[in-house]
Amino acid sequence: MLQPIGLLGCRAGYRQVLNTPGAARQPGIMTETKKIALVTGANKGIGRYVAQQLAEAEVTVLAGSRDVTRGQSTVDELVGDVRLAVLDVTDAASIAAVAKQIEEDFGRLDILVNNAGISSGVALPSEENLDDLRRTYEVNVFGVVAVTNALLPLLRRSEAPRIVNVSSGLGSFAVMQRVDERYGEFNAISYQTSKAALNAVTVMYAKELRDTAFKVNAISPGYRSTELGGVKPEDKPGAGDPAEGALSVTRLALLDDDGPTGEFHLDTGGLCPW
Ligand code: NAP
């Protein structure tokens, strides 16, 4: 079942830097009974709100950021048990270091939110630059598989492992085929096909893990006022509040044992067509 999550009841927590040279460890502070979550790309945008909402739900949150300074600044502003995990999803060494650190500090992972994503532009297929296509896939598709595979051994140790892949309605074949007023001119090959691939990746993992306690789902968080694609939030007319989009991600991260797996959800509730 999809559960509403509370936004109140935050409590102050301690912070710890993961994968940062010289970072002070806090041995003895283990949170075995609390859920442990990693949110990639949590230094801003939707991921930042997901990190905050999970912390408010009493989850220990490892907020992923590829930049130490930007990540630490976000972690300092968030309330709850939120710690920085320096993580570039395109960098194998960075992924391995975070997995090792989580293993040492917690011995398991309960929730993985593959949120980090980029849009390298809105080029038509005939005008696409292959470098942009590759760059987009490196983050939106290959990064998700690399992070997921590195963390699967830790997720397998959880009683209720959850993987949420932050996709987009623009990755829906049904949406891609629309030629109406809203979507008629929109045909951004790199971003849209990368999210379609991510949806397929979601189905593949859910299928492999179908006889386990895992729940693996994709979410379309809706059109949100963030810096995705290098566009300023104020230059996105009609875009919604990223915190609201994040709520739909957080709900899937906190799914009950009888919740769905292998599905593509809408931020507004219900399913997004593949
Ligand atoms: P955003 O504000 O641009 O945030 C993207 C996040 O991903 C940032 O933290 C960014 O870090 C991180 N990131 C980018 N490349 C990375 C890498 N190689 N390794 C680790 N982190 C990386 O965009 P957003 O709108 O919140 O997007 C979050 C997710 O929602 C994305 O997957 C996006 O496709 C999806 N989505 C967004 C919308 C929307 O309208 N906003 C709609 C549908 C789906 P830096 O700050 O270092 O760049």
Per residue in 171-206, pLDDT tens? 999 999 998 878 877 899 999 999 999 999 999 999
- Is position 5 within any domain? no
| Type and span of the H or E element at 47 | helix 45-56
Whether the CB-CB separation of 162 and 205 falls below 8 Å is answered with no
The pLDDT score that the predictor gives to residue 76 is 98
In a domain, 9, yes or no: no
Domain contains 95: yes
Pocket of ligand 1 (CB under 6 A): 40-41, 43-47, 66-67, 70, 87-90, 115-118, 139, 143, 166, 168, 221, 223-224, 226-228, 242
- What is the residue whose two structure tokens read 């492992």? 161
- What is the domain-level CATH number for residue 203? 3.40.50.720
Q: pLDDT tens, 14-29?
A: 234 444 433 333 443 4
How far, rounded to the nearest angstrom, does the alpha carbon of residue 166 sit from its chain's CA centroid?
5
Annotated catalytic residue 191: yes
211 CA → ligand 1 middle, Å = 31
Distance 228 CA to ligand 1 centre (A): 6
Number of domains forming the structure of the chain: 1
**The pLDDT of residue 29:** 43
For residue 25, being part of any structural domain is answered with no
Half-sphere exposure of 43 (CA within 13 A, CB side): 19
Full domain range(s) for residue 77: 32-266
For the stretch 141-155, pLDDT in tens is 999 999 999 999 999
Residue 22 domain-assigned?
A: no
Residue 46 inside a domain? The answer is yes
- Under 8 Å between Cβ of 111 and 35: yes
Ligand 1 mean position, distance from CA 43 (Å): 9
| 148 inside domain | yes
- For residue 1, being part of any structural domain is answered with no
